[in-house]
């Protein structure tokens, strides 16, 4: 980005539906499977190593985290990772309820940035979340993570695969090499402005 990179500031955390306060500012949510590298990508966006906690154990994000984008005055909202097999059935159900409540009740939510592992073909849980987002009339911004771990031919094939399902071409990103981080920022800002159209 030519201009100064926006800053992410953690401003609120909700573990339960009761803690989900209605915020007046525009929001763009980030969702993805529990091992997709969401925390690492948030840190890459922020240009900081420890803003979001990164763990070797998937499923550590168990809350809805609100990051204010300064100075643009919208929120990037980090949702709990889904599909973590080792979580108990009760825990998974609780996360699903929290995620569903947030996606259906947040009146200022403009788009869902869906993080997808570049190494994997479309997964059932990801496709289900896309269907749910569409049922809520929520635009989906596809983002392929860990693209540095794939060869160029694999990246293009995966982009084409997702584009055929979503119509939007996924952004290729890597938190390790910072591939696509500027493009992701631009897409988030467009999404906040209501410019993501499926």
Question: What average pLDDT does this structure show over 4-32?
Answer: 90
| Per-residue pLDDT at 11 exceeds 90 | yes
Reported as a single tens digit per residue, the pLDDT across 127-180 is: 999 999 999 999 999 999 999 999 999 999 999 999 999 988 999 999 999 999
Q: For residues 193 and 111, give the distance between their C-alpha atoms in angstroms, rounded to a whole number.
A: 10
Q: What is the pLDDT of residue 4?
A: 73
Maximal C-alpha separation, the chain: 46
In the chain, beta strands by DSSP E: 7-14, 27-32, 64-70, 74-78, 109-117, 140-145, 171-172
What are the residue boundaries of the structural domains of the chain, listed by start? 7-192
- Tell whether the model's pLDDT for residue 120 goes beyond 80: yes
Tens of pLDDT, residues 93-119: 777 788 889 999 999 999 999 999 999
Give CATH for domain 7-192.
3.40.50.300
> What gap in Å lies between CA 58 and CA 72, rounded to an integer?
31
pLDDT at 52: 86
Confidence of residue 198 (pLDDT cuts 50, 70, 90): low
Distances from the Cα of 27 to the Cα of 22, 33, 54, 72, 119, angstroms: 11, 20, 23, 11, 28
pLDDT at 80: 85
pLDDT, averaged across the chain = 88
Q: What's the mean pLDDT in 57-79?
A: 84
């Amino acid at each position: 980005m030519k201009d100064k990179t926006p800053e992410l500031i953690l401003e609120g955390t909700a573990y339960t539906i009761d803690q989900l306060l209605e915020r007046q500012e525009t929001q763009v949510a980030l969702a993805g499977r529990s091992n997709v590298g969401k925390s690492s990508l948030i840190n890459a966006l922020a240009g900081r190593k420890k803003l979001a906690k990164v763990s070797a154990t998937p499923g550590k994000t168990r809350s809805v985290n609100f990051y204010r984008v300064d100075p643009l005055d919208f929120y990037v909202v980090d949702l709990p990772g889904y599909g973590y097999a080792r979580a108990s059935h009760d825990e998974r159900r609780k996360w699903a309820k929290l995620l569903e409540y947030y996606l259906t009740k947040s009146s200022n939510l403009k788009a869902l940035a869906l993080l997808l592992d570049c190494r994997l073909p479309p997964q059932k849980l990801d496709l289900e979340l896309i269907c749910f987002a569409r049922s809520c009339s929520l635009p989906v911004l596809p983002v392929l993570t860990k693209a540095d771990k794939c060869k160029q031919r694999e990246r293009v094939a995966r982009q084409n695969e997702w584009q055929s399902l979503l119509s939007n071409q996924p952004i290729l990103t890597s938190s390790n090499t910072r591939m696509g981080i500027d493009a992701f920022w631009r897409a988030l800002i467009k999404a906040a402005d209501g410019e993501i159209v499926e």
